[in-house]
């Protein structure tokens, strides 16, 4: 049985390609207007500041199991600790150490050394530092900032954005002009850790064996009555298995 798959992909395993294609085909497509309509019905989303990813096609995750699995991969676009703030500053080309120097507090205000004496070395006020980085990101007028402020999250390891809208999970891609299959959908399938491709490979092996059996039957010209009963039964069982696979049963 031939399964549909992405036509333009560099994935060498056809079963992973087909499995990722199935994952996307289970989703419903939304255009920008449909997404804005759903957002307008969600009291947690400020419609006037809703930013949308570049590619104006969105995917509504219809399957509840897929939704829960993808949600586990989601992480905030807003920096939440020192390391994330450092990475964001580096990404927008701002000197990390210079900004950190402006957010040092005297260590004795927050802790003491092990011997009980006050420590004179300054410490980073992480909360103030992270907030300052967010404000600087805002001042850069970055599209990513507005996506983050609108509630979009990153689906880890995939480059896909996700937004919770009126109880549903919507996926978006902020890009164009390259293979979404290779850059986003196949990585999403792999990150989810699904085993569909293993079953597809198993079915393919059974199908190949069954086709060999069918060829044997063809060469026998229907003279199976002359075969030993156990061999005849095994051949018939394999032929039935091939027929069920070839009928399109998932």
What pLDDT, in 10s, does the model give residues 179-229? 999 999 999 999 999 999 999 998 888 777 767 766 766 776 666 667 788
What pLDDT, in 10s, does the model give residues 74-107? 999 998 999 999 988 888 888 888 888 888 765 5
Do the beta carbons of residue 45 and residue 168 sit within 8 Å?
Answer: no
Average pLDDT, the chain: 83
Residue 113 has pLDDT above 60, yes or no: no
What pLDDT, in 10s, does the model give residues 3-30? 788 988 889 999 999 999 999 999 999 9
Q: Is residue 101 part of a domain?
A: yes
Same domain, 33 and 49: yes
Same domain, 118 and 219: no
Q: What is the mean pLDDT of residues 69-77?
A: 95
| pLDDT score for 194 | 96
Q: What is the mean pLDDT of residues 134-163?
A: 90
Same domain, 93 and 213: no
Q: Is residue 9 part of a domain?
A: no
Same domain, 115 and 162: no
The length of the chain is 250
User: Across 42-51, 143-152, 166-175, 231-240, which has the greatest mean pLDDT?
Assistant: 166-175
- Numbers of helices and strands, H then E, in the chain: 11, 8
Q: Is residue 143 part of a domain?
A: no
In terms of residue numbers, what domain contains 119? Answer: 82-138
Do the beta carbons of residue 25 and residue 200 sit within 8 Å?
Answer: no
Same domain, 72 and 158: yes
The model's confidence at residue 247, banded by pLDDT at 50, 70 and 90, is low
Same domain, 206 and 115: no
Measure the CA–CA gap between 167 and 110, rounded to whole angstroms.
42
Report the domain count for the chain: 3
Residue in 144, 145, 146 with CA at minimum distance from that of residue 51: 146
């Amino acid at each position: 049985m031939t399964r549909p798959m992405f036509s333009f992909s560099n994935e060498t395993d056809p079963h992973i390609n087909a499995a990722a294609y199935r994952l996307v085909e289970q989703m419903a497509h939304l255009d920008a207007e449909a997404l804005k309509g759903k957002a307008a019905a969600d009291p947690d989303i400020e419609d006037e500041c809703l930013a949308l990813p570049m590619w104006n096609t969105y995917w509504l995750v219809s399957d509840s199991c897929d939704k829960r699995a993808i949600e586990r991969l989601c992480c905030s676009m807003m920096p939440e600790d020192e390391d994330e703030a450092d990475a964001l500053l580096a990404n927008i080309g701002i000197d990390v150490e210079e900004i950190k120097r402006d957010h040092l507090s005297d260590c004795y205000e927050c802790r003491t050394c092990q011997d009980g004496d006050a420590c004179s070395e300054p410490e980073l006020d992480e909360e103030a530092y992270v907030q300052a980085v967010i404000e600087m990101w805002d001042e850069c007028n970055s599209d990513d900032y507005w996506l983050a402020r609108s509630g979009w999250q990153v689906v880890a390891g995939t480059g896909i954005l996700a937004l919770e809208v009126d109880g549903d999970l919507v996926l978006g891609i902020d890009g164009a002009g390259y293979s979404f299959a290779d850059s986003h959908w196949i990585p999403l399938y792999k990150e989810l850790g699904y085993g569909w491709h293993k079953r597809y490979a198993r079915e393919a092996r059974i199908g190949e064996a069954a086709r060999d059996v069918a060829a044997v039957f063809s060469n026998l010209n229907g003279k199976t009555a002359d075969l030993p009963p156990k061999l005849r039964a095994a051949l018939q069982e394999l032929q039935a298995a091939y027929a069920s696979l070839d009928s399109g049963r998932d």
